[in-house]
Chains A and B, each alone.
Chain A
Amino acid sequence: MMRKAYDVITSLKLTIACLAAAAVLVFAGTLAQVNYGIHIVQERYFQSLFVWWPPAGSGFKFPVFPGGHLIGAVLLINLIAAHVRRFRWGWKKLGIHLTHAGLIVMLAGGLLTDLLAVESHMRLAQGETKNYSEDQRGMELVVIDTTSDAELDQVTAIPEALLRKQREIAHSSLPFRIVVRNFFQNSRLHMVNEGNARLRPIATQGLGAQVAVQSVPRATSMDERDVVSAVIEIIPHEAGTNSLGTWLVSDALGAPQTFPYAGRTWRIELRSARYYKPYSVTLQKFTHERYPGTEIPKNFASRITLIDPERSVNRDVLIYMNHPLRYRGETFYQAGFQKDDSASILQVVRNPGFVTPYVACVIVALGLLVQFGSHLITFSRRRRGALA
């Protein structure tokens, strides 16, 4: 039994099956992007163990195909196991061994990147300074005690994932519980007015008392994103006190809302999740060059000042296309700009595994070169022998 399983795991047939499954998955995942957009496809097809198919209307879903993580993992095991089993040292096998060793590094690195890399954005207006970047999709609910100190606010941040699970949230820094009444992955907000009697306000307090929320399908195009909304109820811990009511928090609400409780003023807001940094970035100047007489962009560049008191750094840096800034494990890329060129958008990436593809590429390319090169030499030698 064990023997048989070992045979299967190390077999070339399994390799081919994995490669074929990967090809089918990649093809299907490419076509699916037309309807679902790149982000959803990435989650469903490539960064999952299975691709699920939910029949329309039913609550069930079935795994219909292995997902990217499963195929990658099986391929990785197959590669390693086959080499452990059949490894024989020999100059003639050097090319094959190098190629596969490189592929192992690449697959493992890919998995590492998928699990550990964090991508975020930093949008800076001309002259603006920030010490945080923002998640492009993930949100957080923040509850801020604004009474405490003029300089510092007490901020409690609750990630979107917790809100989505629709449960009660309590934290030692808050004198009340937050109960999530409703959660919308993507939503549209409508003002409730007397003209339209069908719309009902979604909350009892704050802006939500005049707003109705409609749940809509998730955004699919590259330049759209989900408008996350939630309805939360604030219930004080103190026994005998009543609920303070419900509030609507949403990405689409322009302004934060405040309410008084226990002699303090609390601000609540649903905003893009933030990643704070021990240093700050100030945009000095954003330039957008075009080719003369055209609208074709020639270059985008952001001149920024990087200030890091911990490491006593205070310097100007120019970030432009294909020339990112790498600093303290993070990399800043020129990613975009506001339509009227008034703000620059930098992509901030933390990827501890970023060297693996470089190493893997060199090893595999070397391996393929040795392998096919030696084929070529043997072949031409034999050919010359045949002709002579």
Chain B
Amino acid sequence: MKRWLPILVVLLAASFVARAWMPQKLPAGAADLSSLGKVSVLVGGRVKPLDTVARNSLLIIHGKQELRLADGKRISAMQWLTNVLFNAGAVDEQPAFVIHHPEVLGLFGWEQGARKNFSYQELTPFLRQIEEQGSQAEKLQSTERSSYQSAILNLRNALILYQKLKHSIQPEGAQNFIGELERFLAAVPDGGKAARQREAGEPFDQAKLEAVAEAVRRYEEMSGMAYVLAVPSRADNQWHSIGDSLLQSIGAGEIHPVVRLYAQIGDAYRSGASTQFNEHVTALRIWMEKEKPQAASRSSFEFLFNRLQPFSQSMTLYVLAFLLACGSWLAWSETLRRSASWLLLLGLAIHTFGIIARMYLQERPPVTNLYSSAVFIGWGTVVVALILERIFRDGIGAACAGAVGFGTLIIAHHLAGSGDTLEMLQAVLDTNIWLATHVVAITTGYSAMFLAGMLAIIYIVRGVFTRSLDSRTAASLTRMTYGVVCFATLFSFVGTVLGGIWADQSWGRFWGWDPKENGALLIVLWCAITLHARWGGFIAQRGLMVMAIFGNIITSFSWFGVNMLGVGLHSYGFMQKAFPWLVGFMISQLALMAIGGLPLERWRSFARAPRNQSEEAAKPVPAEAAV
């Protein structure tokens, strides 16, 4: 039984994962929204599937990738977007806009209550007010905005996004759009003739001119509002909005096939004709595959990536593994430990798939923004911790991998709230060499720092609160922590210097005392202090552990804290919301350090043992023999 348990656990977990990977069956006679979700469009400078547009837009507007109505009904992002694009009247009543801030609610004369989601219809009377307040707030630097100002600006931006989406594919309120297009195309020659006649001062047909003028006005509005660029043009190899494409049709005398297909899809959707809807969507996808094969295959893959949500799967596996590993110190040690390791391997495999998928989609090295740094730090920690587990086989590496992997993926999850996590890179970051070397080295250094900190936490928690920290475990924990600090020193130093070289290459200054640079330098300095203190014999086991936990504080300051200062060249992600969490984390680490400083008599593991056995006396360690 015990022998088979690890295999059983992993098989069970794998079958849960596999279920998510199976394609979902479409009920007969239903509109195939997933198929529409795979269609490529250009938004934010990047070709992506409509499904991504749906998820990111809903994330910005609603804060979640799924809309839950008051009656508990769940609406997927694609369902919501399809309605916004083709049948906006139906979603105007859905409470998609999330408002938390009491002062924003107060602006509309509403009291803070149980409700925090409001529909477009409810907000319509206040649109002018929101626009006014929002544009006032926009003039300030993001660091200078009050929480009310940030909230109202977010609401304004959400409303703008919503309105833009509504105008992306068809004019507002269009019913028989394909019919309208046919009439427009037919009217263009006569209308053009009338316009020329008017210019020449000849008599002209007013009605014919106006029919075209009215349509042009509608399409110009669409073109001005468009958020989604859906039409790849053959003429200039660029993506255009449907509005733009229609305006170009006047000269070309024909309507772009993609515009035609979108119109047919919309008409079929509104009339509930699922079969026709599916046929037109298929036709659109075939057209894309023929004309834009690379974009089409990439978008299909991104759709799959969105659906699988690999990082949340790994997150679940990591937390399970952490619990199993902790359990292994109490009972059934080898069985639970092996189960934990196998779960971690499965989680790591999915995590790796996620990172590689993002690299393929973005054609970039793994870390390009704060979100991906969190994902990568987690990955790096799990890899190193699993190597430790493989060497020491005592569940400690597994527990660290589970805890840090889970923690960083949770952080990543919360960082994703601002929309597309595969966004395009600012000009100065547009260099794969430095992204691949400097950024990867620095984030690997962060991984190692957090791993060392986690090992130290295990040492202190097990030592103080349990009797499980025997001298052998203590010694191997010390060796692990020391080794990981060495590893962190190497990567942090190399990463910091590579950053300096990048800066020297980009703006002629190796070092500029920018907050992010200083943060990286602090890590290097802290590692150097720790290692020299150890070599000089100023600290022994406990000192090393307490210093490693302080490393957590320094690393979190360097990773997040400096971005919150709002100064310098790296302040790309100012996050007021994360500030209390960061402070909370730092306080928790200080508390752990204080616990680590308790006299040894208070440590449950050491209480009975004589002092000289429980902790090796502080003596200088010759550097070459320090491991």
Question: What's the interface size class on A, roughly?
Answer: 35 or more
Scan residues 400-459 of chain B and give those whose CB is less than 8 A from a CB of chain A.
423-424, 426-428, 430-431, 434
Q: Which of A58-66, A240-248, A374-382 is the interface stretch?
A: A374-382
Contact B493 A368 (CB under 8 A): yes
Q: Which of B254-262, B324-332, B497-505 is the interface stretch?
A: B497-505
Count residues of B near A (Cβ-Cβ below 8 Å). Answer: 63
Contact B533 A361 (CB under 8 A): no
In the complex, what's the smallest C-beta–C-beta distance from A258 to chain B, in angstroms? 37
In the complex, what's the smallest C-beta–C-beta distance from A59 to chain B, in angstroms? 29
In the complex, what's the smallest C-beta–C-beta distance from B183 to chain A, in angstroms? 29
Contact A292 B566 (CB under 8 A): no
Contact B229 A42 (CB under 8 A): no
User: Interface code B68-81, partner A: CB below 8 Å = 1, 0 otherwise?
Assistant: 00000000000000
- B522 interface hit (Cβ, 8 Å): yes
Q: Which of B119-127, B344-352, B483-491, B604-612 is the interface stretch?
A: B483-491
Residue of A nearest to B239 (CB): A292
In the complex, what's the smallest C-beta–C-beta distance from B520 to chain A, in angstroms? 10
Interface SS of chain A = helix
Contact B627 A12 (CB under 8 A): no
Q: Which of B434, B500, B508, B562 has the most CB of A within 10 A?
A: B508
- B584 interface hit (Cβ, 8 Å): no
Contact A296 B426 (CB under 8 A): yes
In the complex, what's the smallest C-beta–C-beta distance from B251 to chain A, in angstroms? 21
Interface SS of chain B = helix
- A217 interface hit (Cβ, 8 Å): no
From known contacts A38-B512, A298-B430, infer whether A372 and B229 are also in contact, taking CB-CB under 8 Å.
no
A20 to B479 alpha-carbon distance, docked (Å):
24
Scan residues 47-70 of chain B and give those whose CB is less than 8 A from a CB of chain A.
none
Contact B483 A379 (CB under 8 A): yes
Contact A33 B45 (CB under 8 A): no
Contact B239 A293 (CB under 8 A): yes
A358 to B536 alpha-carbon distance, docked (Å):
30
Please, which residues of chain B bring their CB within 8 A of the CB of A13? 536, 538
A351 to B500 alpha-carbon distance, docked (Å):
14
Contact A321 B501 (CB under 8 A): no
A selection of 23 A-B contacts at a CB cut-off of 8 Å is A13-B538, A16-B529, A22-B525, A27-B518, A29-B518, A33-B515, A33-B567, A37-B567, A38-B513, A38-B567, A110-B511, A222-B568, A290-B45, A292-B229, A293-B239, A321-B506, A324-B506, A349-B508, A354-B510, A365-B493, A375-B486, A375-B626, A378-B627
A-contacting residues of B (Cβ < 8 Å)? 42-46, 229, 238-239, 391, 423-424, 426-428, 430-431, 434, 479, 483, 486-487, 489-490, 493-494, 497-498, 500-501, 504-515, 518-519, 521-522, 525-526, 528-529, 532-533, 535-536, 538, 562, 565-568, 623-624, 626-627
Top 6 closest pairs, chain A to chain B, by CB: A291-B45, A349-B508, A361-B497, A12-B536, A23-B525, A30-B518
Apart from the given pairs A119-B509, A296-B44, A321-B427, 18 other A-B contacts in the complex at a CB distance below 8 Å: A16-B536, A16-B538, A23-B526, A30-B519, A41-B513, A292-B45, A293-B44, A294-B44, A322-B430, A347-B507, A347-B508, A357-B501, A361-B497, A365-B493, A372-B486, A372-B487, A376-B627, A379-B483
B-contacting residues of A (Cβ < 8 Å)? 12-13, 15-16, 19-20, 22-23, 26-27, 29-31, 33-34, 37-38, 41-42, 46, 92-93, 96, 110, 113, 119, 222, 290-294, 296-300, 321-322, 324, 331, 333, 335, 347-349, 351, 354, 357-358, 360-361, 364-365, 368-369, 371-372, 374-376, 378-380, 383
